[in-house]
Amino acid sequence: MDLTRRGFIKLTGASLATSSLSALGFGGSGAALAEAVRPFKLTHAKETRNTCTYCSVACGILIYTLGDGAKNARSDIIHIEGDPDHPVNRGTLCPKGSALLDIVHAPTRLQVPKYRAPGSSEFKEVSWDWALNRIARLMKDDRDKNFIAKNAQGTTVNRWLTTGMLAASASSSETSYLTWKVARSFGMLVFDNQARV
Amino acid sequence: MASLAPTFGRGAMTNTWQDIKNANLVVVMGGNAAEAHPCGFKWVIEAKIENGAKLVVVDPRFTRTASVADYYAPIRPGTDIAFLSGVIRYLLENEKIQREYVRAYTNASLIVKEGYGFEDGLFSGYDHEKGQYEKSTWDYELDEQGFAKVDDTWEHPRSVMALLRKHVARYTPEMVSRICGTPQDKFLHICELIAETSAPDKAMTSLFALGWTQHSVGSQNIRTMAMVQLLLGNIGVAGGGMNALRGHSNIQGLTDVGLLSNQMPGYMTLPKDSEVTFDDYMKTRQFKPLRPNQTSYWQNYKKFFVSFQKSMFGDAATAENNWAYDWLPKLDVPLYDIIKAFEMMNHGQMNGYICQGFNPQQAFPDRGKIRRGLSKLKFLVTMDPLDTETSRFWENFGPQNPADSAAIQTEVFQLPTTCFAEENGSLVNSARWLQWHWKAADAPGQAMSDIWIMSGIFHRMRELYRTEGGVFPDPILNLTWNYTDPTDPDPEELAKDMNGRARADLTDPSGAVVKKGGQLLDGFAQLSDDGTTESGCWIFSGCWTDKGNQMARRDATDPRDQGIAPQWAWAWPANRRILYNRASADVAGNPWNPAKPIIQWDGAKWIGIDVPDYGPTVKPSESVGPFIMNVEGVGRLFARDQMVEGPFPEHYEPLESPAINVLHPKVQSNPAVRVFADDRADFGTPSEFPYVATTYRLTEHFHYWTKHARINAILQPQEFVEIGEALAQEKGIAQGSWVRVRSKRGFIVCKAYVTKRIKPLTVDGKPTHVIGVPLHWGFTGQARKGYGANTLTPSVGDANTQTPEFKAFLVNVESVNGPEA
């Protein structure tokens, strides 16, 4: 039987549910074995294909979550490992990728929007609405005041140089495309990402 | 990738990760793949075990990559061009080039204009006052039809080959050793190994990363090896290539989508002030072929541009308003890069800054300057899953961040975002694969996606312009926003935008409808310049077609097990996995290496395991070159005007160097480099700072992220520097003791790791010590508090890209008492 490791886990999961491992060729001993083995925790988890967030090898990963996706159940990531079917990493991960679970659940993951007022020595929690309204106000005032519609020669240049942006090289291409649209529609030129480094 | 595009036409890794296994020789120089890209590096081991390949490593440190190498040679940081120019000289002197390949697929035979020259470190056209070149002599001599003149014998004194021979003649083994500190015998042994791959059926792959880019001559470092590879016939073939191992999961994607100061999606460029009208803009983007029958694919620029503007502005972009040309901002300088941004901040010329998943307080040179710059802003917005140093630059963390909060008037917003595990979308890997990924769980707390946040800012701005009016609202009010939930567009919708769709029925020459209006396009060949098509990123066209999401494909089938896997995800352009694969076959279309063909001519069409560079029925007799983005159709040994500091690479010392440039003492460092006056004042001299420092990653950490992850913080908890035994003894520094490392810009206090892996080099007769500075620490996260390597680094960039010179600068070091616990 030609089985990938993923297939094996799926199949054993399904087989355990029916208390039979005969599909795997374990024969009559399968049922006894199945009863003796504590159900593998990942067989109850939802498996999601993703890509390691670090370097550009882009290792395939499998993320395992508890929670069946029901509306009121919050899913929780319990395990991350290399995708054995991936043609580049073939299931392996490096010391960074192996610890992805710890970055997802880092104690310094940010939970709420915060604001630091001029001269203050602390952050204060604020609502999303308040933060985004304030940011838009600051940006519009700056743009209206400092936008350069024409240069000294009278050429239309339509640029805004007093506010700039750094985009994220770990964000998706879809995020980056939307970010490009927004930043350039404002006329931003002070605009870069980690590719500059 | 401002080095590969001027040479080959596209700025990207040429081959796939798995294809490394087909190499006969792997050269790792300007990188440390075993530690920085471990799961990609396994293909080097595969090449060694299964293909009998040799691994050569050239690096200032004996890295973990070096530890599994067949041959290792040390080199002084910042002297790679001298080393590789010496390699070129060796190959030419010893007739170790693949002549037929070089003649057919490079510009070796093309004749350069009269007036071009190189003397005492400067190419023709240098303007001493501006510190820039006037580059008109860096071009070909043209015939009456406007084609470049050719001498296939290479005897013409101004043929590119003759000029190259002359240019590299100075890089003798003695000179290489004098500059680089590499012993001559080691240099020559590596030349011999490299030369073996000039055989048509042998391939060398070059694996490199930021060890080459992060220099004031970074782009030319890479270009020199690209030239070596062209001379050896190693581009386009299995197991060959210039394999730029990119550092972040989607750094290739963000480059492809153009999130750089002067870029537009798909490597189009924003207009300059001098391009007053759309006609002016298009005039410099004609890309007329410079040799007969060449593709010069950028001739289609207008199709890509108009389709992009239609994607941005829909019906509001019309032929009458030049497709909303004036709605794009124009540049008055080449770049508003990050070094310039912080220079502007320090001079009070910027008020606002948004940092989306980017931590410049740690990641950019001269941390003191970064903090002073951020302190002068009116507002700073950070969007990040993690508690970054940038978002807390205003907070006093002691010597690691001595900020005076009360004096800093910047308003700071710290916005929590989702991470990779909590969203759908695609990432482009180093090998140009667009791989779709799926959300596994919700984000913690109130964290939201970057898409939602950017949409939120945009909608509020647009609403303010609608209600209050304001300066030039047109592009904001007319930006296309056709999303099911306008406050939170689906990644799927954005991916389809980039792929592009027909805006009207598209017909073929017979009049038959090929695509109905609204239908997704099959690829960029369907784009037109009349407004009937739209595409947000032309090179991605084909990624999400009527057949569905090609990026989500997960069929690992690999024909002949050759490392292509053409049905796994999708690669730009057109799902081509090996760029310039036409060059894997000879002029007649037969594979150079019959054991590992990629494509070949079967008498009627191109067949093989990859998508050919051009039409499958274009006959070899038409002599269409493999480098279809280049106007010549061939790879460039002579870069014309594509590089700011010269059409050939030349050795220039780092801005901070322990040595005089022995080739031309009057032109010490890159003559076209941009240095701001206050940064120049912050450069140190070798008398005060006698040691060369270089920064790098450890395998246990990723930049400033993984110190937030418990396991990684445990694996490498403590900031340290690596110091060779000889220097440690000289300075009385014990293993594991505290040291202070100083540059002209600041100091760090950390532990010393005394190592055998860094040995002093003899540079121009003098012993030269190198200190290694791993970069991963800061003042947030779970690891011990640290300063960060960029406290020390100089604020100067590569002359083409402005990528900071992190890999070669000057420091001093002394033993100190540890900080009080």
Q: What is the pLDDT of residues B493-531, one digit of tens each?
A: 999 999 999 999 999 999 999 999 999 999 999 999 999
Res B64 pLDDT > 50: yes
pLDDT of res. A28: 59
Residue B666 burial (10 A CB sphere; 0-12, 13-18, 19+): exposed
B540 and chain A: CB distance < 8 Å anywhere? yes
Q: What strands lie across the sheet with A76-82, from one edge to the other?
A: A46-51, A60-66, A76-82
How far from the centroid of its chain's Cα atoms is residue A151's Cα? 42
pLDDT of res. B671: 98
Residues A139 and A152 in one domain: no
* Chain A residue with the nearest C-alpha to that of B425: A172
Residue of B243, B420, B553 to mutate, testing the A interface (most A Cβ within 10 Å of its Cβ): B420
Centre a 10 Å sphere on the Cβ of residue A44 and count the other Cβ atoms it contains: 12
Least confident span in A69-73, B75-79, B188-192, B502-506: A69-73
Do B458 and A182 lie within an 8 Å CB cutoff?
Answer: yes
| pTM for the whole structure | 0.95
Do B470 and A99 lie within an 8 Å CB cutoff?
Answer: no
Residues A75 and A23 in one domain: no
Which among A54, A56, A65 is positioned nearest to A97, based on CA atoms? A54
Do B434 and B551 meet the contact criterion of CB atoms below 8 Å apart?
A: yes
First to last CA, chain B: 45
Residues A28 and A58 in one domain: no
Which among B42, B1, B48, B38 is positioned nearest to B18, based on CA atoms? B42
pLDDT tens digits along B761-790? 999 999 999 999 999 999 999 999 999 999
Longest Cα separation, chain B: 84
B198 and chain A: CB distance < 8 Å anywhere? no
% of residues, chain B, pLDDT over 70 = 100
DSSP reduced 3-state for B176: helix
The tokens for B391 are: 């978002």
Res A172 pLDDT > 60: yes
* Chain A residue with the nearest C-alpha to that of B711: A99
pLDDT tens digits along B441-499? 999 999 999 999 999 999 999 999 999 999 999 999 999 999 999 999 999 999 999 99
Do B290 and B333 meet the contact criterion of CB atoms below 8 Å apart?
A: no
Do B303 and B323 meet the contact criterion of CB atoms below 8 Å apart?
A: no
| Å between B780 CA and nearest CA of chain A | 8
Res B1 pLDDT > 80: no
Cα-Cα-Cα-Cα dihedral sign, residues B686, B213, B678, B396: negative
B353 and chain A: CB distance < 8 Å anywhere? yes
Mean pLDDT in residue range B369-377 = 98
Do A185 and B250 meet the contact criterion of CB atoms below 8 Å apart?
A: no
d(CA B779, CA A58) in angstroms, rounded, equals: 28
Least confident span in A42-46, B121-125, B694-698, B752-756: A42-46
B108 and chain A: CB distance < 8 Å anywhere? no
Mean pLDDT in residue range B347-354 = 98
Residue A150 burial (10 A CB sphere; 0-12, 13-18, 19+): exposed
Residue carrying the six token digits 């510009």: B107
Residues A61 and A103 in one domain: yes
Centre a 10 Å sphere on the Cβ of residue B477 and count the other Cβ atoms it contains: 12
Chain B partners within 8 Å of A42 (Cβ)? none
Mean pLDDT in residue range B180-207 = 98
| Å between A33 CA and nearest CA of chain B | 32
Q: State the SS3 of B471-496.
A: CCCHHHHCCCCCCCCCCCCCHHHHHH
Chain A partners within 8 Å of B259 (Cβ)? 167, 176, 179-180, 191-193, 195
| Å between B465 CA and nearest CA of chain A | 8
| Res. B716 pLDDT band, cuts 50 70 90 | very high
The tokens for B102 are: 């070089």
Residue B332 burial (10 A CB sphere; 0-12, 13-18, 19+): middle
Centre a 10 Å sphere on the Cβ of residue B137 and count the other Cβ atoms it contains: 17
Question: How many H helices and E strands in chain A?
Answer: 5, 9
Which among B801, B682, B202, B338 is positioned nearest to A192, based on CA atoms? B338
B326 and chain A: CB distance < 8 Å anywhere? yes
pLDDT of res. A1: 40
pLDDT tens digits along B92-112? 999 999 999 999 999 999 999
Residue of A61, A88, A98, A111 to mutate, testing the B interface (most B Cβ within 10 Å of its Cβ): A88
d(CA B111, CA B84) in angstroms, rounded, equals: 24
* Least CB–CB distance from A156: residue in B245, B326, B417: B326
pLDDT of res. A72: 81
The tokens for B410 are: 């910047």
Q: Which domains does chain B have, with CATH numbers?
A: 4-247 (3.40.228.10), 249-333+417-429+433-574 (no CATH), 677-815 (2.40.40.20)
Least confident span in A20-34, B490-504, B563-577: A20-34
pLDDT tens digits along B244-287? 999 999 999 999 999 999 999 999 999 999 999 999 999 999 99
Which residues in B649-745 belong to E strands, given as ranges? Answer: 691-696, 720-724, 738-743
Do B358 and A139 lie within an 8 Å CB cutoff?
Answer: no
d(CA B178, CA B563) in angstroms, rounded, equals: 41
Q: Which of A44, A60, A79 is the last residue of a domain?
A: A44
Number of domains in chain A: 4
What element of type H or E holds B501? Answer: strand B501-502
Do B487 and B521 meet the contact criterion of CB atoms below 8 Å apart?
A: no
* Least CB–CB distance from A158: residue in B326, B439, B702: B326
* Chain B residue with the nearest C-alpha to that of A85: B556
Mean pLDDT in residue range B18-38 = 98
Res A27 pLDDT > 80: no
pLDDT tens digits along A98-138? 999 999 999 999 999 999 999 999 999 999 999 999 999 99
Cα-Cα-Cα-Cα dihedral sign, residues B344, B348, B352, B354: positive
Do B351 and A51 lie within an 8 Å CB cutoff?
Answer: no
Residues A158 and A177 in one domain: yes
Pairing of strands B71-73, B118-119: unpaired
How far from the centroid of its chain's Cα atoms is residue B1's Cα? 3
The tokens for B521 are: 């396009």
Res B575 pLDDT > 80: yes
pLDDT tens digits along B214-225? 999 999 999 999
What element of type H or E holds A137? Answer: helix A128-146
d(CA A21, CA A33) in angstroms, rounded, equals: 8
Q: Please, which residues have CB within 8 angstroms of residue A61's CB and are 6 or more apart in sequence?
A: A49, A50, A51, A52, A80, A81, A82, A83, A93, A97, A100
| Res. B139 pLDDT band, cuts 50 70 90 | very high
Chain A partners within 8 Å of B709 (Cβ)? 99-100, 102-103, 106
Do B274 and B613 meet the contact criterion of CB atoms below 8 Å apart?
A: no
Domain that holds residue A86: 46-107
d(CA B714, CA A95) in angstroms, rounded, equals: 12
Res B304 pLDDT > 70: yes
CB burial readout B673-690, b (16+ within 10 A) else e: bbbbeebeebbbebeebb
DSSP reduced 3-state for B722: strand
pLDDT of res. A30: 65
Residue B333 is given by DSSP the state S
CB burial readout B66-85, b (16+ within 10 A) else e: beebebbbbbbbbbbbbbbb
Do B471 and A177 lie within an 8 Å CB cutoff?
Answer: no
d(CA B99, CA B107) in angstroms, rounded, equals: 12
Mean pLDDT in residue range B386-390 = 98
| Res. B2 pLDDT band, cuts 50 70 90 | confident
Cα-Cα-Cα-Cα dihedral sign, residues A55, A56, A61, A66: positive
* Chain A residue with the nearest C-alpha to that of B349: A162
* Least CB–CB distance from A149: residue in B253, B472, B702: B472
* Least CB–CB distance from A136: residue in B441, B446, B457: B457
Pairing of strands B506-507, B544-545: unpaired
Mean pLDDT in residue range B537-554 = 98
* Least CB–CB distance from A63: residue in B379, B440, B498: B440
Residues A4 and A23 in one domain: yes
| Å between B303 CA and nearest CA of chain A | 19
- The upper half-sphere exposure of residue B648, i.e. CA atoms within 13 Å in the direction of its Cβ, equals 29
d(CA B139, CA B145) in angstroms, rounded, equals: 16
Least confident span in A34-48, B555-569, B655-669, B806-820: A34-48
| Res. A37 pLDDT band, cuts 50 70 90 | low
CA distances from B484 to B196, B487, B488, B490, B819 (A): 59, 9, 8, 8, 57
Centre a 10 Å sphere on the Cβ of residue A111 and count the other Cβ atoms it contains: 12
Least confident span in A3-12, A81-90, B409-418: A3-12
pLDDT of res. B820: 67
CA distances from A83 to A49, A50, A58, B39 (A): 8, 9, 11, 12
* Least CB–CB distance from B250: residue in A94, A169, A187: A169
Mean pLDDT in residue range A37-58 = 87
In this structure, chain B runs to a length of 821
Residues A51 and A103 in one domain: yes
Residues A85 and A135 in one domain: no
Q: Please, which residues have CB within 8 angstroms of residue B371's CB and are 6 or more apart in sequence?
A: B361, B393, B401, B403
A182 and chain B: CB distance < 8 Å anywhere? yes
B508-B510-B511-B512 Cα dihedral, nearest 10 degrees? -70
B401 and chain A: CB distance < 8 Å anywhere? no
Mean pLDDT in residue range B673-682 = 98
| Res. B365 pLDDT band, cuts 50 70 90 | very high
Q: What is the DSSP string of B108-155?
A: GGBBBPTT--EETTEETTEETTTTEE--TTSSB-B-TTSPBPB-TTS-
Residue carrying the six token digits 């394999």: B243
pLDDT tens digits along B316-330? 999 999 999 999 999
pLDDT of res. A41: 75
CB burial readout B736-762, b (16+ within 10 A) else e: eebbebbbbbbbbbbbbbbbebbbbbe
pLDDT of res. A18: 44
Residues 736-775 of chain B whose Cβ lies under 8 A from any Cβ of chain A: none
Residues A180 and A134 in one domain: no
Do B352 and A175 lie within an 8 Å CB cutoff?
Answer: no
Do A193 and B260 meet the contact criterion of CB atoms below 8 Å apart?
A: yes
Chain B partners within 8 Å of A71 (Cβ)? none
- φ and ψ at B184, to 5 degrees? -55, -40
Residues A160 and A195 in one domain: yes
Q: Please, which residues have CB within 8 angstroms of residue B598's CB and are 6 or more apart in sequence?
A: B236, B237, B238, B562, B564, B578, B581, B584, B585, B591, B608, B609, B610
Q: What strands lie across the sheet with A191-193, from one edge to the other?
A: A124-125, A114-116, B411-416, B379-384, B352-356, A163-167, A191-193
